[in-house]
Amino acid sequence: MTLSHTALVVGATGLSGGYLGRLLKSEGWQVVSLSRGVETLAFSDRHIAVDLSDRAAALAALGAVSDVTHVFFCTWSRQANEPENVRVNQAMVQNLFDGLAASPLQHAGLVTGLKHYLGSFDDYAAVKPYTPFLESQPRLPGLNFYYSQEDVLFAEAAKRGFTWAVHRPHTMIGLAVGNAMNMAMTLATYASICRETGRPFTFPGSVEQYHAVADVTDARILARQILWAATTPKAANTPFNITNGDVFRWTWLWAQIADYFGLPVGDYPGHPMPLEQQLADAPAIWAGIVQKHGLVDLPVGKLATWWHTDADLGRQIECFTDMTNSRRLGFADYQQTPQSFFDVFDEMRAQRLIPA
């Protein structure tokens, strides 16, 4: 890859954006990062600090950028309800493209997720989905900000002549401190608290999730698919599911995670035990663990998002995906799911985020 390719990574401090930015830089791309705050990122050649929901600020900040050939939208803004999710997140994508009016865009990639098949937060699983989720499935009725983001993407691509790809990961696995949706870091924090306090390491979710077939998405494989789709002509203008390429059941993966941390598996009670309720006292406990083990001094909320893992593991439906479009067009990457978790745990230990 030559320096004639300049990527704008929107949401560069997040899980998907951070892994993508590092991959692009390793492949020789010029990388422009964008987030709401001022950041110094090792992979970034230039950083733009702007809130894309502020149209005037977005147009001003992006108006100075005229060399972006590829843009990757890897963020979203959670609002109080789905009408507000649609309004804000659709506007962010529109403001982005309007701000890049002077750039010679060749490709735009949009990262969404499985709420494309499951429905919005307001209507989640109101229509029972069938599995595996197919990229060819029609949209569900009702508001969904993923659909609104796609509509802006499709309209801009048709108007300006660049190619597009939509990437739909399942639960993301990777390391990004402060990321709002990160199961691996949440489970590592939970396990560390259990080991320190003697609490049982018990699966906190639903019976359905405990026994069902599931899959997840390693942030590294998502980044590779995004790069592949952006540089493979036959992949143009295609939606892609993206997961590791294997499936698992929590009945046995939970035991492997327990073994990694040297913990016995707690007896599953047959009903959800939400982490947000179990760990209401986690802030004080974690502060003690940090002091005792000489860890990086971060509040527990920077490492764990109990609510998101509760929502993921508490689903009363089976969720896994089909990757026909990737396989048909030549993307055959694979990542073993247990190793995805263990790699994050290893990195957290190496960075002194959790005890060794």
Percent of the chain with pLDDT over 70: 99
Orientation of helix 183-197 relative to helix 250-260, angle to 10°: 60
Neighbouring-strand partners of residue 165: 109, 238
Residues 6+ apart with CB under 8 A from 205: 250, 272, 310, 312, 313, 314, 315
Would you kindly state where each structural domain of the chain is located, as residue ranges?
6-169, 174-215+247-321+335-350
Q: Do domains 6-169 and 174-215+247-321+335-350 have the same CATH topology?
A: yes
How far, in whole angstroms, is CA 311 from its chain's centroid?
A: 15
Written as tens digits, the pLDDT of the chain (356 aa) is 445 899 999 999 999 999 999 999 999 999 999 999 988 999 999 999 999 999 999 999 999 899 999 999 999 999 999 999 999 999 999 999 999 999 999 999 999 999 999 999 888 867 788 899 999 999 999 999 999 999 999 999 999 999 999 999 999 999 999 887 889 999 999 999 999 999 999 999 999 999 999 999 999 999 999 999 999 999 999 999 999 999 999 999 999 999 999 999 999 999 999 999 999 999 999 999 999 999 999 999 999 999 999 999 999 999 999 999 999 999 999 999 999 999 999 999 999 999 99
Q: What's the CATH number for 6-169?
A: 3.40.50.720
How far, in whole angstroms, is CA 214 from its chain's centroid?
A: 16
Residues 6+ apart with CB under 8 A from 220: 19, 23, 174, 335
Q: What's the CATH number for 174-215+247-321+335-350?
A: 3.40.50.720
Active site residues: 115, 146
Identify which of 296, 171, 150 has the alpha carbon closest to the alpha carbon of residue 237.
150
pLDDT recorded at residue 193? 99
